[in-house]
């Protein structure tokens, strides 16, 4: 009889990927938390750091890696893509160094991870970026800890949290242009779908927020939303509006894009003048 049958241990491993897209961060399912939510470097500041904390009751194996990627919209879906042509021009994944890159974090312990940006010589003006992946994997107890004859289940929850790292040269600048506003009704769900299409117009990604509202003919707000917003190339942000209690008629979609984020201090963001947008729609 082999050891597996003696102990009756059944192993199961689950992997959970939590991606931080558009600067949106969610750590509700993770025992391991990271701060801040973005890293910033420039020609005067080549160093930055993360604090990684283990708030759980089990030791965690931490692994940190960098890779190029950015959010965009393809075929109507929000995706993280790695365009090799853009990567060749804008990726900093190969010249950001991590110390330490792998370590074990005990329960209620925290670790400072330091990053050093080492850009190549004669770097073109503008913004460069990378995705920083922090993977946490619980340290599994040995099989021998399960008494003979008992059946146990070993579940490993692997969490991959991803934030953005940015490097900006002295003359980096950014801008956003709203290229389209769409509205459609989905009769089967009684929802309205709002799409705000945007294009980045500077030499560095835009990081900020977008807020919008839908108002009736009397100026009353029937829907509003405010969220973080990052534009690396082009992207369409989609919003779902519940139409259950909204009377048919003419309405106005309006809002603006600003260089503000609750989780990032203003001095870390490239500033732009607010970009307003507006469109008249009919709800049937």
Q: How confident is the model at residue 10 (pLDDT cuts 50, 70, 90)?
A: very low
Is 74 a residue whose pLDDT tops 70?
yes
178 within 8 A of 210, measured Cβ to Cβ: no
Confidence (pLDDT) at 141? 63
pTM for this model (two decimals): 0.82
DSSP bridge partners of 32? 54
> What does the pLDDT read at residue 23?
39
CATH 2.60.40.2360 in the chain is located at 176-283
State the pLDDT at residue 196: 97
pLDDT at 238: 95
Residue 21 has pLDDT above 80, yes or no: no
pLDDT of residue 22: 38
pLDDT > 50? residue 1: no
Q: What is the pLDDT of residue 179?
A: 97
8 Å CB contact between 228 and 261: yes
pLDDT (0 to 100) of residue 144: 52
Residue 8 vs residue 90, higher pLDDT: 90
The domain defined by 12-168 carries CATH number 3.40.1280.10: no
Question: Is residue 156 predicted with pLDDT exceeding 90?
Answer: no
DSSP secondary structure letters along the chain = --HHHHHTEEEEEEEEEE---TT----TT-SEEEE-SEEEEESS--EEEEEEEE-SSS-EEEEEEEE--EEEEETTEEEEE--HHHHHHHB-GGGEEEESSEEEE-TT-EEEEEEEE-PPTTPPSSEEEEEEEEEEEEPPPPGGGSPTT--EEEEEEEEEEEEEEEEE-TT----EEEEEEEEEEETTTTEEEEEEEEEE-SSS-EEEEEEEEEE-TTS-EEEEEEEEEEESSEEEEEEEEE-TT--SEEEEEEEEEES-BTTB-GGGS-----EEEEEEEEE-
Residue 111 burial (C-beta neighbours within 10 Å; 0-12, 13-18, 19+): middle
In 3-state terms, what secondary structure has residue 195?
Answer: strand
Q: What's the average model confidence in pLDDT over 50-79?
A: 93
Give how far the C-alpha of residue 108 lies from the chain's centroid of Cα atoms, to the nearest Å: 25
Where are the CATH 2.60.40.10 domain residues in the chain? 12-168
202 pLDDT above the threshold of 80: yes
Query: How confident is the model at residue 155, as a pLDDT?
Result: 60
* CATH class entry, domain 176-283: mainly beta
- 75: pLDDT confidence band, cut at 50, 70 and 90? confident
* Structure tokens, 210: 């977008």
Per-residue pLDDT band at 26 (split at 50, 70, 90): very low
Which of 6-15, 47-56, 275-284 is least confident?
6-15
- 8 or 193, higher pLDDT: 193
Provide mean pLDDT across the span 171-182: 97
Model pLDDT, residue 157: 76
What is the Cα–Cα distance from 182 to 193, expressed in whole angstroms?
Answer: 8
Average of pLDDT values for 21-49? 76
What is the rounded average pLDDT for all residues in the chain? 87
Partner residues linked to 60 by β-bridges? 105, 138
Least confident of 1-5, 41-45, 159-163: 1-5
**Angle 228-229-233 from CA coordinates, rounded to 5°:** 160
| Band (106; pLDDT cuts 50, 70, 90) | very high
Query: pLDDT-based confidence at 14, cuts 50/70/90?
Result: very low
Concatenate the DSSP letters of all residues of 132-147 into one string: EEEEEEEPPPPGGGSP
Place of tokens 């008629």: 249
Rounded Cα distance, 269 and 265, in Å: 7
Tell me which residue of 274, 225, 220 sits closest to 251, measured CA to CA.
220
Q: What is the pLDDT of residue 187?
A: 78
- pLDDT at res. 150: 57
């Amino acid at each position: 009889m082999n050891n597996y049958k003696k102990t009756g241990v059944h192993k199961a491993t689950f992997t959970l990927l939590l991606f931080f897209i558009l600067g949106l961060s969610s750590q509700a399912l993770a025992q391991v938390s990271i701060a801040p939510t973005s890293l910033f470097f420039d020609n005067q500041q080549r160093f930055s750091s993360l604090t990684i904390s283990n708030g759980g009751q089990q030791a965690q194996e931490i692994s940190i890696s960098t890779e190029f990627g950015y959010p965009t919209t393809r075929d109507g879906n929000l995706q993280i893509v790695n365009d090799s042509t853009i990567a060749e021009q804008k990726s900093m994944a190969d010249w950001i160094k991590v110390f330490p890159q792998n370590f074990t974090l005990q329960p209620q312990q925290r670790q400072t991870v330091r990053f050093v940006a080492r850009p190549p010589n004669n770097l073109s003006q503008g913004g460069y970026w990378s995705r920083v992946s922090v993977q946490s994997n619980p340290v599994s107890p040995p099989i021998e800890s399960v008494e003979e004859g008992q059946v146990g289940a070993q579940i490993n929850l692997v969490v991959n949290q991803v934030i953005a790292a940015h490097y900006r040269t002295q003359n980096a600048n950014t801008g956003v242009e709203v290229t389209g506003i769409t509205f459609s009704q989905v009769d089967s769900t009684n929802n309205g779908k709002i799409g705000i299409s945007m294009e980045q117009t500077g030499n560095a990604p835009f990081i900020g927020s977008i807020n919008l509202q839908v108002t009736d003919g009397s100026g009353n707000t029937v829907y509003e939303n405010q969220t973080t917003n990052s534009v690396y190339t082009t992207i369409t942000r989609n919003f779902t509006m519940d139409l259950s209690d909204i009377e048919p008629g003419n309405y106005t979609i309006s809002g603006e894009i600003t260089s503000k984020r609750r989780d990032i201090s203003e001095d870390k963001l490239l500033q732009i003048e607010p970009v307003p947008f507006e469109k008249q729609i009919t709800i049937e």
